[in-house]
Structure 1
Amino acid sequence: MNHSQNAESACFIPFKGATDTLPLPERFTFPFYYEPHPLAILASEELQEHLENQTEWEHNFGLEANQEGLVIGKMFGVLVVRNPQNEIGYLAAFSGKLAGENHHSLFVPPVFDMLTEEGFFKKEEAVLNQINAEIEALENNPEFLSLEEFLKTETTKFDAESDDYKKRIKASKKERKAQREKAVAEGISTSDLEILLEELRKESLKQAYFLKDFIRQGEARLEEIQQKVNVFRNRITFLKEERKNKSNALQQQLFEQYSFLNAKGETKSLFDIFKNTVQGKPPAAAGECAAPKLLHYAYQHQLEPICMAEFWWGQSPKSEIRKHKHFYPACRGKCEPILGHMLEGLKVDDNPMLVNPADGVTLETIYEDDYIAIVNKPAEFLSVPGITIQDSVYERMRLKYPNATGPLIVHRLDMSTSGLMLIAKDKGIHKSLQSQFIKRTVKKRYTALLNGLVSANEGEIDLPLRVDLEDRPRQLVCYEYGKPAKTKWKVVSQNDNKTKIHFWPITGRTHQLRVHASHSLGLNCPIFGDDLYGTKADRLHLHAEWIEFRHPITREVVTFEVAAEF
């Protein structure tokens, strides 16, 4: 048996359960937006059973109380494949490392194993660690710290003495001026005046000389200390620059080692895959996700990809929303360029994000006058044109009101959210309404159906948000860089493990209500049908049902309401 066959037998997993009744998909899974095929679900369930029962390795997923080690949840992936013997089975993979290792039985290996003891990465990592250790030793050297403190103290002392001397010179100058003016006023003789002026001039020159000499000596003393400090600083700067260059070179070498096959048998390195992207180079950990590992292994061993799925295993992270056993699409920042190459040659499901879900859908106007309009946006309907789809509330309003000026759209709703949107028919009206939003005098209420039961009756959520740069448009909770995001809420009713709730957003961040509902530090109950932060259903059960604002012309406070249809 050759190496390829050995590797295949180690990683090709026959299904335990019967698959005869499950038809094969006609096309491969579109990895960035999908509903798992029944075969992928079955493979995931079998893998999850293995994770629950295996004893080969230990990893703290945060699922067991008092387990030692840092809690690290993990994305796992399954790839259903057909082998050369026409047998259906699946491959399994994990993202990054698992239990500190790249290799575990059952799972496919990494595309490139940087942890090999004799490999270049380990050797260069040892060099970088040595540089780090030397930098740390220098930065904490007692002599260096003492010299820096001494330089700081002497500099402060010198500056204070210089300022004091300059103040005394200024006072002396003022006093000499007074002496001259007094002498002139008293009418002393010309000869006595000349003598006085000469004495005052000599005194001025003497003070200027002493100041110059004081500064020269002081600066020379500080320079002597500075040179001793620079012996350390220059070495630290040199080492940091060397570390930067070596780190960049190592990263570049890694990029070139990560080479990915596609269904056509073509190979591309990470560097080549990312060189024409916006970022121009691969992000950290690119190529370590489960999906690229699975496909690369399948192509290497003549295994035909049929469908795939990825799920989260473990406790949810503090920032992003990941629920135990929930399925998630591949990330866009790291995986989209890689998988774009790797899927070439496969028949893949159409990208649903290129299909206009609002095609043929009516946009209802519930109120209008000469200045404003209120529309009831359906779910899965864009507020403004997207990259590939132009049909939107904006486009519909532009066609309906061809003589309108200005941006028309005063505020937006997420594509998946239904409900009330305010339209301004001219630029001045738009500016007036926008001002109300900026001042937060506009009041809005949303109704949502949560997938779970909320324990309290009402409250306020305060979780700052920022975009996930590696997986737009997904949002993260981030206390360091996130923008303030606050939401008031109140339970309306609870039934059949669902909670109907009212939300009053105090701020208006992207996906604010969806994240605040789903996050473990929020309500920990995703909105029913939330395909980003929960589980996909017929629709996202979130509706902007009530709005209150001051009419820009009549100045009356007006309210509009359309009840949620769920």
Structure 2
Amino acid sequence: MFNEKIEIIYEDEDFIVLNKPAGVLTIPDRFSKSLPNLYGILTEKYGRIFVVHRLDKETSGVICFAKNEEAHSDLSEKFEEHDVNKVYLALITGHLRNKEGRIDIPLSENPKIPGTMRVDYDAGKRSITEYKVLEEFENYSLVEARPLTGRMHQIRVHFKAIGHPLAIDSVYGNKNEIFLSEIKKKYKAKEDEPEKPLMSRLTLHALKLGFFHFRKKEYIEFEAKLPRDFESLLKQLRKYSIRNVN
């Protein structure tokens, strides 16, 4: 039975588009095959499924799988040729001097820490992320990020490289969670009850995905609504932490 907690945004004979919850893997874990993953869930329902692209475990949002070899080949080529429109929402630390811009910094895998990336001007592959600041808070900024290339952890490493890592990023940043007490100045803790975090995972959400459908012969685009934890954090920031620029 398909997991009812995973929203199906779109489905046809070629593709299935989902809103991936944070904490769910795209593909099976190399060391623990029993961990929940979209590939396994979809394979149970459809028998055969094709992975086109991936989202980090702690990233939520729109992700597309192919249902046959023809669809897989076509969309994989579009990803390879950067013919796919990808839009993310990221909450980053601090404030950017330029409210719109492009980060053009080469990246490569970090041999010292397997499974991570690093800035590499000597042997790294060219990596480009365009961004636009949407909202500013006292200590954070909400940005729209458009990766024009598809390197692993690209958005995370790029914003760290320019001095503004994601608000929560246990690998490339320095926080694992955000509490209301950090945002609300007159916060009063409840007696004998530990404070629960507003959000305790990567502050990154894949908002939109668009591409030209090879069979329908038209451009299609999908949007995944923000999950509750991200919405809750933004709501509290808007209420208690709007940036005063005076």
Among candidates 398, 401, 410, match of residue 43 of structure 2: 398
Q: Deviations over 1:391-410 (max 9, x none)?
A: 311111111211x3xx5111
Question: CA distance change for structure 1 residues 414 and 361 in 2, over 3 Å: closer, same or farther?
Answer: farther
Give the gaps of 5 or more residues in structure 2: 178-199, 231-246
Q: Deviations over 1:31-69 (max 9, x none)?
A: xxxxxxxxxxxxxxxxxxxxxxxxxxxxxxxxxxxxxxx
Does the Cα contact within 8 Å between 1:397 and 1:408 map onto a contact in 2?
no
Query: Per residue, is there more strand in 1 or in 2?
Result: 2
- Name the TM-score, length of structure 2 as normaliser: 0.78
1:444, 1:474 → 2: CA distance?
21
1:518 counterpart SS class: helix
Based on CA coordinates, which of the two structures has the bigger radius of gyration?
1
Q: Deviations over 1:311-341 (max 9, x none)?
A: xxxxxxxxxxxxxxxxxxxxxxxxxxxxxxx
Among candidates 435, 439, 443, match of residue 81 of structure 2: 439
Q: Which amino acid aligns with 2:169?
A: D
2:135 counterpart SS class: strand
2:50 counterpart SS class: coil
Q: Deviations over 1:535-554 (max 9, x none)?
A: 21111110111011011211
**What is the match of residue 546 of structure 1?**
208
1:516 counterpart SS class: helix
Aligned pairs for 1:235-250 (under 5 A) are: none
2:6 maps to 1:363: yes
**What is the match of residue 532 of structure 1?**
171
Which stretches of structure 1, 4 residues or more, deviate above 3 A after TM superposition? none
Q: Which amino acid aligns with 1:532?
A: V
1:533, 1:470 → 2: CA distance?
14
Query: Per residue, is there more helix in 1 or in 2?
Result: 1
1:502 counterpart SS class: strand
Does the Cα contact within 8 Å between 1:447 and 1:564 map onto a contact in 2?
no
Q: Which amino acid aligns with 1:362?
A: K
1:507 counterpart SS class: coil
Aligned pairs for 1:334-349 (under 5 A) are: none
1:515 counterpart SS class: helix
Q: Which amino acid aligns with 1:396?
A: I
**What is the match of residue 421 of structure 1?**
63
Q: Shift in Å at residue 499 of structure 1?
A: 0.2
Q: Shift in Å at residue 556 of structure 1?
A: 0.9
Q: Which amino acid aligns with 1:497?
A: N
1:508, 1:496 → 2: CA distance?
31
1:513, 1:456 → 2: CA distance?
17
Q: Deviations over 1:420-439 (max 9, x none)?
A: 11111011111011121122
**What is the match of residue 52 of structure 2?**
410
Q: CA RMSD for the aligned pairs?
A: 1.5
Q: Which amino acid aligns with 2:142?
A: K
Among candidates 80, 99, 116, match of residue 457 of structure 1: 99
* Aligned length in residues: 201
**What is the match of residue 304 of structure 1?**
none
Q: Shift in Å at residue 500 of structure 1?
A: 0.3
**What is the match of residue 557 of structure 1?**
219
**What is the match of residue 123 of structure 2?**
481
Among candidates 4, 29, 33, match of residue 386 of structure 1: 29
Question: CA distance change for structure 1 residues 532 and 492 in 2, over 3 Å: closer, same or farther?
Answer: same
Q: Shift in Å at residue 361 of structure 1?
A: 8.4
Q: Which amino acid aligns with 1:373?
A: I
Higher relative contact order (CA 8 A, sep 6+): 2
Q: Deviations over 1:211-258 (max 9, x none)?
A: xxxxxxxxxxxxxxxxxxxxxxxxxxxxxxxxxxxxxxxxxxxxxxxx
Q: Which amino acid aligns with 1:530?
A: D
Q: Shift in Å at residue 512 of structure 1?
A: 0.5
Question: CA distance change for structure 1 residues 530 and 384 in 2, over 3 Å: closer, same or farther?
Answer: same
Aligned pairs for 1:170-249 (under 5 A) are: none
